[in-house]
Amino acid sequence: MATPESRYTEIGAFDAKTRLSEILRKVEEGERFTITNRGKPVADIVPTQMKDKRRAAEAVRRLLAMPKIEGVSSETVREWIEEGRK
């Protein structure tokens, strides 16, 4: 089986049907599957994007909750940002 966030793991349709619960648990952990029928890829099972959207919303919420920098000019903050990019 492939590791989470990597390439898709191929699985035959019959095996996918008989192991659906196991496959769904692995998909929840980030693994991706391609279901094949007689060796031909026919469908992909991938994690829902809702998890990513929730993570993004949480990141934005945390950024907005950060304390504001006071007593430092915006130019100085820009210089700090540029220094960090080098």
Q: What is the pLDDT of residue 35?
A: 97
**Strands of the sheet with 33-37, listed across from one edge:** 9-12, 33-37, 40-45
Asked if the model's pLDDT at residue 37 lies above 60, the reply is yes
Asked if the model's pLDDT at residue 48 lies above 50, the reply is yes
Can you give the length of the chain in residues? Answer: 86
- Of 42 and 74, the structure prediction assigns the larger pLDDT to 42
Q: Against a cut of 0.85, is the pTM above it? A: no
Q: What is the pLDDT of residue 86?
A: 61
CA distance 79 to 45: 45
Name residue 41's beta-bridge partners.
36
Residue 48 DSSP symbol: -
Q: What is the pLDDT of residue 70?
A: 84
- Share the mean pLDDT of the chain: 86
Average pLDDT over residues 30-36: 95
| Residue showing tokens 């890829």 | 41
